[in-house]
Structure 1
Amino acid sequence: MKELLEKLTQAYGPSGSENSIRELIKSELSGYETKTDALGNLIIEKEGKQGGKKIMFAAHMDEIGVMVTHIDKDGFLRFDFIGGVNPYQLPAERVRFANGTIGVIGLEKIDKISDLNREKLYIDIGAESKEEAEKLVSIGDSASFISPFVDLGNRFVSKAMDNRSACAVLVKLLQNLPETDNHIVAVFTVQEEVGLRGATTAAFATEPDYGIALDVTATGDTPKGLTMDVGLGKGAAIKVKDRSIMVHPYVKEKLVELAEKNNISYQMEVLEFGGTDAGAIHLSRSGVPSGAISIPCRYVHSRSEMVDIRDMEAALKLAQAFCGADLR
């Protein structure tokens, strides 16, 4: 899974600009018939047997980034955030536009660190004038952050582990999906980072009986970090709640039952902030019992997100078990 994860994390794909990452995922699933809907979600369906339940697995393929809002007379770019971006982490970081243009994020002179905000930041693409900059970028162009993939043994570091690590799990699930009674709908969703938008339309269109979001979650295992009982290397995280959903009790209990029955390492996740595609799926139409299988991730929404391969493998095994589960 490491090689796939590296390819996926290094691909370009800020929210609203998922074409490149979608085509890469499609190339990994060449044995399947795929459909791209009006919003850009990539949808793959595998028929089950008559009487089986329809399960929607959703893994968002977009990443956080920035968008150009202004080009000044000297060729410097001002920008807005795409998704949840921490301005304190940005000075001297690099970004890449879809056409390959590279920029460095600069910071105006400030007197104290508390003055640092988005309005004090700019992107330097090496242009010497507005006219020169406009040959490379335009207002409304998006950029993703640049960060190499680093192998630390069982743990990997890169940008976009949120949510390419879960995309890798969903790809592997499809590549190794056994025959099941249940009808499986796998959706690589768009625009999750800006409001769960792809999952909203995909769930409405596919009408699942159950929804499972595959995503990352925060951890509480770093020095003086969050007070949270989730850590790297301890298994897949079974969500209980976040800001977008109170997980359906039956779905949560079924995931725990399957993990214990199949000797899959797991931990319970109560996330005090954020949300996943499950938040949109469970409110679709007249309601869809939904939950989430999460991959613990340190330093979420940074250029150095860290995940553990053992947690990814546990998430894959749990998703496989849910595919074949006897659901009421």
Structure 2
Amino acid sequence: MTMDFDFDLLVELTEACGVPGYEDDVRAIVQREFADAVDEVRTDAMGNVIGTIHGDSEYSVAIAAHMDEIGFMVRHVTDDGFVQLDPLGGFDARVLRAQRVTIHTDDGDLTGVIGSVPPHTLTEEQQSKKDEVKNVYVDIGRDGDAVSELVSVGDLATLEQTTVEMGDCVTGKALDDRVCLFSMLEAAKRIEDPAVTIHFAATVQEEVGLRGATALGVDIDPDLAIALDVTVANDVPIIGSEADAVTKLGEGTAIKLKDSSVITSPKVHKRLKTVAEDEQINYQLEVLPAGGTDTAGFQNTHGAKPVGAISIPTRYLHTVTETANCDDIAATIDLLSAFLATETGTHDYML
């Protein structure tokens, strides 16, 4: 299919490595892309990047998407040279079997594999043992002495995967949340002479507790905040129930009503709906039973704020095969751009 956006930039963002607290490679891309799109770029002590377009009024809007991906930190190297990991972010350990990983050391990257032994060689007790990250061992193909010289406690590790087109979709690692970070960057490039000041925030450490956004809620102190994140698209046969799908691929961007961290401001999500309908942008409503986003980080950290959220429906979250529909990505960029272009600072979002 024909991409209505910069696919090469999306690939660069998703294939970059940046676990919570160590988003350096992603931050460099964001800074580069902001350079010609905004009036001012700054980075704070946590590593959040804020690109500001100054508007005609003091009213300010914060747009946030997080840079970090789930990953690991090395916690131990065995005498035999196997590497044990501590998770950075929420992992379903079942998806780690037989995965390839990259261990990021001071002297360069190393390829490793999380092995999976043949099931017929396991005892019944071993077969019934619950998968846990603490029981994962990474094999980097070297003996113990070599590994101890190459790998140190505190080194980082990420799952290895490329991003590719797949039919009407894109699939790869770290679409959570790089596909939304990408959408924010694309929207920033479209904004000219806004009526309000817009702070585009690429946040850190969302996967370990919305930490970057919470700090920015104080530092930026916006009048309105909109966060972008992926959301569950469980529209697959194993789920069965349409109610449990949350969203569906190909049916448009998602306007969040709630998740377990936030109930979005009714007047904000109603205006998002109005803009989508006026601009004929396909959308669906999101009621997410579990999970949180940067939206919550802005809602009440420096006094009560009106907040909203736009989500990109994504299958297979927190795996290396995260999958989003290209039309939904384009719709997200369109909705965010149209919302900001029509934000005057005079809309009443108070209850």
Consecutive unaligned residues of structure 1, counting only runs of 5 or more, are none
Q: Which residue of 2 aligns with 1:272?
A: 289
Cα distance in 2 for residues equivalent to 1:288 and 1:146: 38
Q: Give, in angstroms, the shift of residue 134 of structure 1.
A: 2.7
Give the structure 2 partner of residue 119 of structure 1: 134
Deviates more, 1:135-144 or 1:24-33: 24-33
Identity percentage of aligned residues: 37
State how far apart, in whole Å, the 2-side matches of 1:319 and 1:168 are: 12
> C-alpha distance in 2, partners of 1:168/1:262?
21
1:58 is matched with which residue? 64
Answering whether residue 196 of structure 2 is matched by residue 189 of structure 1, we say no
Equivalent in the alignment of 1:171: 185
Superposed, which structure 2 residues align to 1:233-272 within 5 Å?
Answer: 233-272=250-289
Matched, 1:105 2:111: no
Q: How many residues align?
A: 326
Aligned-residue offset at 1:113: 4.4
Q: What is the SS of the residue equivalent to 2:42?
A: strand
- 2:33 is matched with which residue? 28
Q: Aligned residue for 2:216?
A: 202
| 2:10 aligned residue | 5
TM-score, L = length of structure 2:
0.89
1:49 partnered with 2:56: yes
Q: Distance in 2 between matches of 1:321 and 1:25?
A: 22
Partner Cα distance (2:340, 2:205) in 1: 25
Residue type of the alignment partner of 2:164: V
When structure 1 is superposed on structure 2, of 310-319 and 117-126 the one drifting more is 117-126
Q: List aligned pairs for 1:280-319, cutoff 5 A.
A: 280-319=297-336
Question: Within 2, Cα distance between the matches of 1:262 and 1:69?
Answer: 51
Provide Cα deviations, 1:167-224, integer angstroms capped at 9, x if missing partner.
1101101111122101100000000000000101112100101111111000131113
Q: Distance in 2 between matches of 1:92 and 1:106?
A: 5
**CA shift for structure 1 position 114:** 4.2
Show the counterpart of 2:47: 40
Three-state SS of the structure 1 residue aligned to 2:9 is helix
Q: TM-score, normalised by structure 1?
A: 0.96
Q: Which of 96, 101, 106 is residue 90 of structure 1 equivalent to?
A: 96
Aligned letter for 1:250? K
Residue 97 of structure 1 and its aligned partner are, at CA, apart by: 2.5
Question: Matches of 1:265 and 1:41 in 2, distance apart?
Answer: 31
Q: Which moved more, 1:302-311 or 1:115-124?
A: 115-124
CA distance in 1, matches of 2:327, 2:128: 38
Structure 1 segments of 4 or more deviating over 3 A?
Answer: 107-110
Q: 2: CA distance between counterparts of 1:182 and 1:154?
A: 36
Contact 2:232 2:246 in 1 (8 A): no
Question: How far is 1:282 from its partner?
Answer: 0.5
| Displacement after TM superposition at 1:316 (Å) | 0.8
Larger deviation, residues 145-154 vs 205-214: 145-154
Distance 1:106 1:284 in 2: 43
Range moving further from structure 2, 302-311 or 114-123: 114-123
Residues 68-77 or 98-107, more deviating: 98-107
